[in-house]
Amino acid sequence: MSHKAVLALGGNAIIKPGQDGNIFEQFVNTRHSLEGVVELVRQGYQLAITHGNGPQVGNLLIQQMAGIDRNIQPMPLGVLNAATEGTMGYMIEQSLQNLLTRLAIPRKVVTILSQVVVDKNDPSVSNPTKPVGPFFSKEVAEKLQHDYQWSMKEDAGRGFRQVVPSPMPIDIVQIDLIRNLVDSNEIVIACGGGGIPVYVDDHGVYEGFDAAVDEDFAPAMLAA
């Protein structure tokens, strides 16, 4: 039986402290971060790769703020998380596939946009504490709280930031597909940034949820 492993790349491995975080730097950092992955591939491991997205989703939030003055409504955090799953999955998938091709290793890489089920009544919903995005003045924070019903809290005297729930993951919607692909020896990128948070409504269908699933617990569930 082949060994299985879940590898987690931190968002700060893709945008390093002090860098601009432009897409060219992110691609270079992604390629460097994957060099150690190849050794596990050589050893025959069946792999799933996940990643953080803190700096990336923070940048998207700043871009969202730039559109407010033009009456462009900011997207929910869950949708931004889906966006980073796509962009970062693309970078990791392409970079790893190219590396495997150069080394003549016949393995394929695929990205799965992963919806992670949470409880909409999770205790964190009534007491959001996870800070996301940029700092704001008190005046701007109060306006955002009024206009968009965001929860805003002062952060160590540096300004105000949006805080969001960080519910525990309950299930991964695409887990059977991920498992089948890994068992087929494909390298799967999944649950990036903790996955896209969703809940099951009273009719048994999935609905998006404005939250940030914990980036440690989601990969732990994926591994289990």
The DSSP annotation for 180-203 comes to HHHHTT-EEE--GGG-EEEEE-TT
Query: What is the arithmetic mean of pLDDT over 112-117?
Result: 97
Answer whether residue 55 shows pLDDT above 90.
no
pLDDT-above-90 percentage for the chain: 65
pLDDT of residue 1: 57
Q: Is the pLDDT of residue 2 over 80?
A: no
- Residue 93's pLDDT is 97
Query: In the CATH scheme, what is the code of domain 4-126+168-223?
Result: 3.40.1160.10
SS3 state of residue 35? coil
**Contact by Cβ (8 Å): 197, 172:** no
Task: List, for residues 57-82, the tens digit of each pLDDT value.
Answer: 888 888 888 887 788 888 888 999 99
Return the pLDDT at 75: 87
Which range, of 19-33, 84-98, 168-182, 196-210, averages the lowest pLDDT?
19-33
Q: Mean pLDDT in the chain?
A: 91
Distance CA 27, CA 179 (A): 27
pTM listed for this prediction: 0.90
Q: Tokens for 199?
A: 């809940």
Beta-carbon contacts of 154 under 8 Å, excluding residues fewer than 6 positions away, are: 138, 160
The Cα 154–Cα 129 span in angstroms is 11
Q: Is the pLDDT of residue 110 over 90?
A: yes
Alpha-carbon gap, residue 41 to 108, rounded angstroms: 11
Q: How far apart are CA 221 and CA 207, in angstroms?
A: 20
Position 76 scores a pLDDT of: 87
The rounded distance, in Å, linking the Cα atoms of 143 and 150 is 9
Quick: pLDDT tens for 138-190. Answer: 998 998 898 888 899 998 888 999 899 999 999 999 999 999 999 999 999 99
Q: For residues 53 and 114, what is the distance between their CA atoms, to the nearest angstrom?
A: 14
Q: Outline which parts of the chain fall under CATH 3.40.1160.10.
A: 4-126+168-223
Residue 73 sits at φ, ψ, to 5 deg, of: -65, 135
Highest mean pLDDT of the ranges 14-18, 68-72, 101-105, 161-165? 101-105
pLDDT of res. 187: 98
**Placement of tokens 């290793």 in the chain:** 105
pLDDT higher than threshold 70 for residue 208: yes
